[in-house]
Structure 1
Amino acid sequence: MQCGFAFLEAGAVRSKNVVNILIKNVLDCFLGAIIYWAVGFAFAYGDMPDKDSSAFIGSKYFFSIYHEEYENYRANWFFQFVFAATASTIVSGAVAERTQFGSYLIYSTFITAFKVYPVVSHWGWSNTGWLTASKITSFRTLIPDCTADFAGSGLVHCCGGIAALVGAVFIGPRVGKFETVGGVKRSNNIPGHSVPVASLGAFILFLGFLAFNGGSVLAIVDGKTDNGEALAKSVMNTIIGGAAGSIFAISINLIVAIIYGEPQYWSLLVCINGGLAGMVSMCAACDALNTGAAFGIGAIAGLTLFWVSTVLKKFQVDDPLDAFAVHYGGGVCGILLSPIFAEYGIASVPGCVDQEDNFLETWNAACPANQIIQDQATNIFECDYYAYKQWTWNLIGLLAITAWTGAICIVMFGTLWYFDLLRVELDVEIRGLDIKKHGEPGYPTAAYGHGWDEEGSAEAATPFGGLGNAGGDLGRRDVQSLMGTPGFYERPSDGGLLSLAQGYMASHYKKSPSVSDKPRKSLQSQGEINRALEAVEEDQF
């Protein structure tokens, strides 16, 4: 999964930010492993049944202490660590190309190990969590009522998705992403540097989802139960749901373009995201759906992806990877639709009434066997309406996950924003994070020559007339150096570009920018704005 996310995100960002996005994915594994071993697993699965607090959060197995008491501890730690790292990685795509590296370390740590993912996973997957244990139920039911989330549509993907949305809102859009022309808000396309790389990541993710969902059976044969059929069903439904999501997402994209008279394209990236949204929707109950239901839920997830992505653009929320639309949109479809279309879901129950009949088999047509209860006092069989209770508990779980994750992330990202720790400086964003923050360009021009000398690194053409040398920094200089160049302010087009960037800083940063001591130039014409935006789109800084 991490490999897939890494390549998908790397292909979706500009070449000047590839190293930055890749190191975040690498550290999601390595940093995440340390902190999940230290505290994350303990908060998630450290059940203490004798403590009331165990319904909310675990408190055992810190640093693997007393792990001998937990059956198959190491295998479970490995499997659950992958889920925790996934929840954290979802966020990096939504705040890509403009995040301070230090703030990344903070939010990644909180999501993976402290008060975000470990808490919600404890609620829904531990033995004592309040979403797992039966609390509000009929006194006669034979099956405990709880939130059912087989592989994490809500607990993993909705958790990561809502964190991604909060981060994207607080950090603001990338320079040049949105503009207002004639009172009309417009979203500008900022393409990633490599669609093939993004496609490779998608294929790896598709394969990873088969293990992500299928592996949630935990064991094919555990000495008591043969889970081979459940594994096969989970894998097949994941494929069907993903395929439906992809087809419906690309179809609605074309249909809307036709309706509004816009250019019509078969978008590969929409196709990819639709497939991911469909697979996310399968996480909730891929072990309990027939293939027709999997197709339907996946298709709805693909349509939801398009709708959510469109709404975010209307509100000028810049999510480069559509992380919120894919993971939260797909997750909501899975967690709410699965109790309806599962094999013994609401759609399969035409309605049950009380019957004074002692023969269970006469009920099979009207009420599935796992929804029938027996009143021990009267020996009357009745329908328990379990599917309706299941849907209600899934809704409660979704609202709880959204509220908790949203609240914690608002405090976390809000604090980083308030102290100006969330977003990189303007000149760093324009120049690219790879050089300034990592000293390692993803595609160094020096590598086109010998690599050990200046061959192949002659002066590069830039919008500023060859002011920079391409050697080790891709031919870009930071904004401060460019503004200090003699005669720079006599260059109206380039001055307009920097004015656009400075104006953006004033709109989206808590403090006013101090890029230069010189007074800010105003944009001279709409033509300059257009040229500036074209330069942003083409990465010609």
Structure 2
Amino acid sequence: MSDAITGSDVLFVLMGAIMVFAMHAGFAFLEVGTVQRKNQVNALVKILVDFGISTVSYFFIGYAVAYGVDFFVNAAVLSGTAETEGYAFASNGYDLVKFFFLLTFAAAIPAIISGGIAERAKFWPQLFATAILTALIYPFFEGIIWNGNFGLQEVITNIFGVGFHDFAGSIVVHAVGGWIALGAVLLLGARRGRYRKDGRVMGIPPSNIPFLALGSWILCIGWFGFNVMSAQSIGGISGLVAMNSLLAMVGGIIAALLVGKNDPGFVHNGALAGLVAVCAGSDIMHPIGALATGGIAGALFVFAFTLCQNKLKIDDVLGVWPLHGLCGLWGGIAAGIFGLEALGGLGGVSFMAQLVVSLIGCAYALAAGFVVYGLLKASMGIRLTEEEEFIGADLSIHKIGAYPEEDLR
């Protein structure tokens, strides 16, 4: 029975890892559909190569930073059929699929950032940033929250009676990715012609609404692996997480539809806003609380995206700061509201603990974004030249466009 349970857990976590890995196709097509045609190939290549760099960085450095576990032992030990001093790996290779699962979370950080810096960022400096973020910056905070490193969770528990709760990463993944992206976007500057000297804001419409929608659909489907399988075992799985994810998603869709006045970009991103926000408290909220959390997130995204683009004149191409940064922040706080027993939740959370650590996480990520991209800007530059940006990242970087036959005409 023990072998059967362990084997089931391995399969369960592996399926979760595959579902979240598939979400990276969603990130890619969401960006492909949003950017101009001359930058579509770059979006596809960036997301895939970022995943490759993230895997190597997290395997050799990041996972050890977060969890104190490395893989520098023989395959018999890794698979759990032999033991070594210091650490015993679980049987059936459970710890290996757990790494795969958590890697897909780490790799989401550069995938999130990619959408904000699209259409004018250099290729190789972004890969350097990916390596730094997934080897050091993200795992450092991940280990603090999910592994209890450096005693912050203990301090929060002593002050507020309970620790910080983030079941599936509203803060650890989404807010961290979104606030790092804000620093990168501000250092990079706006796209050519986006904002005129006379104060006018020039619209750059999405290149392909069907691709944008496809990206959103892929992300929505994969998100049920992201949230539900964060239990990391068959015994820990909860239908409540699935129900709450579903209702938060539809809450985001409906709110974005109403507030965004039927705009398809807002509708498809509204679904993602709801899912971002419910990650933290998906295991403890009542479904009605999840619906409210998602609805508020959908409206928040529309308002924040409009403010960011038109008033603050921050050229965040896919709106990753409003979507992941602000909706992620809201999700961390919402877990401390709708997770309370008084509002139908399971309890075990504190509003103040959620608020304080959520703000700490966002401040850390914003500072990290400025440091990492600031150093890269000073040392190697992070922006394409005006000519390269005018031609497009596809031809400037990859020497081929998304529609090669048309380039020959």
Q: 1:2 aligns with which of 5, 24, 28?
A: 24
Verify: 1:395 aligned to 2:394, yes or no.
no
Shift of 1:70: 4.4
Tell me how far apart the structure 2 counterparts of residues 63 and 436 of structure 1 sit (CA, whole Å).
40
Partner residue in 2 for 1:154? 171
Q: Is this contact kept in 1: 2:240–2:283, CA < 8 A? A: yes
Tell me how far apart the structure 2 counterparts of residues 101 and 29 of structure 1 sit (CA, whole Å).
14
The superposition leaves residues 504-531 of structure 1 with CA deviations (integer Å, 9 ceiling, x where unpaired) of: xxxxxxxxxxxxxxxxxxxxxxxxxxxx
Tell me how far apart the structure 2 counterparts of residues 63 and 316 of structure 1 sit (CA, whole Å).
48
Q: 1:117 aligns with which of 126, 138, 149?
A: 138
Q: Is this contact kept in 2: 1:281–1:331, CA < 8 A? A: yes
* Amino acid aligned to 1:61: D
Give the TM-score taking structure 2 as reference length.
Answer: 0.86
Verify: 1:271 aligned to 2:267, yes or no.
yes
The superposition leaves residues 462-507 of structure 1 with CA deviations (integer Å, 9 ceiling, x where unpaired) of: xxxxxxxx42xxx7xxxxxxxxxxxxxxxxxxxxxxxxxxxxxxxx
* Amino acid aligned to 1:334: G
Shift of 1:7: 0.9
Tell me how far apart the structure 2 counterparts of residues 317 and 398 of structure 1 sit (CA, whole Å).
23
Tell me how far apart the structure 2 counterparts of residues 432 and 343 of structure 1 sit (CA, whole Å).
50
Q: 1:243 aligns with which of 245, 250, 263?
A: 250
Higher relative contact order (CA 8 A, sep 6+): 2
Tell me how far apart the structure 1 counterparts of residues 325 and 149 of structure 2 sit (CA, whole Å).
26
Q: 2:153 aligns with which of 97, 119, 132?
A: 132
Superposed, 1:367-378 pairs within 5 Å as none
The superposition leaves residues 12-49 of structure 1 with CA deviations (integer Å, 9 ceiling, x where unpaired) of: 11111111111111012211111111111111111xxx
Q: CA RMSD in A?
A: 2.1
Structure 2 gaps, min length 5: 1-22, 79-86
Shift of 1:131: 3.7
Residues 176 and 420 of structure 1, relative CA distance in 2, 3 Å threshold: farther
Q: Is this contact kept in 2: 1:10–1:198, CA < 8 A? A: yes
* Amino acid aligned to 2:241: S
Q: Is this contact kept in 2: 1:126–1:132, CA < 8 A? A: no
Superposed, 1:6-405 pairs within 5 Å as 6-46=28-68, 60-61=69-70, 63=72, 68-71=87-90, 72-114=94-136, 116-133=137-154, 136-137=157-158, 145-181=162-198, 185-221=199-235, 227-228=236-237, 230=238, 232-254=239-261, 266-313=262-309, 314-344=311-341, 347=343, 387=349, 390-405=350-365
Tell me how far apart the structure 2 counterparts of residues 344 and 77 of structure 1 sit (CA, whole Å).
34
Q: Is this contact kept in 1: 2:156–2:353, CA < 8 A? A: no
Report the structure number with the largest CA radius of gyration: 1
Tell me how far apart the structure 2 counterparts of residues 189 and 419 of structure 1 sit (CA, whole Å).
32
Tell me how far apart the structure 2 counterparts of residues 242 and 63 of structure 1 sit (CA, whole Å).
41
Q: 1:409 aligns with which of 353, 356, 369?
A: 369
Verify: 1:433 aligned to 2:393, yes or no.
yes
Shift of 1:133: 3.2
Shift of 1:10: 0.9
SS of structure 1 residue aligned to 2:154: coil
> Taking every aligned residue pair, what percent have the same amino acid on both sides?
30
Give the TM-score taking structure 1 as reference length.
Answer: 0.66
Q: Is this contact kept in 1: 2:333–2:351, CA < 8 A? A: yes
* Amino acid aligned to 2:387: D
SS of structure 2 residue aligned to 1:179: coil
4+ residue runs over 4 A deviation: 62-68
Q: Is this contact kept in 2: 1:297–1:334, CA < 8 A? A: yes
Superposed, 1:521-540 pairs within 5 Å as none
Tell me how far apart the structure 2 counterparts of residues 81 and 129 of structure 1 sit (CA, whole Å).
22
The superposition leaves residues 202-221 of structure 1 with CA deviations (integer Å, 9 ceiling, x where unpaired) of: 10000011110011111122
Aligned residues: 373
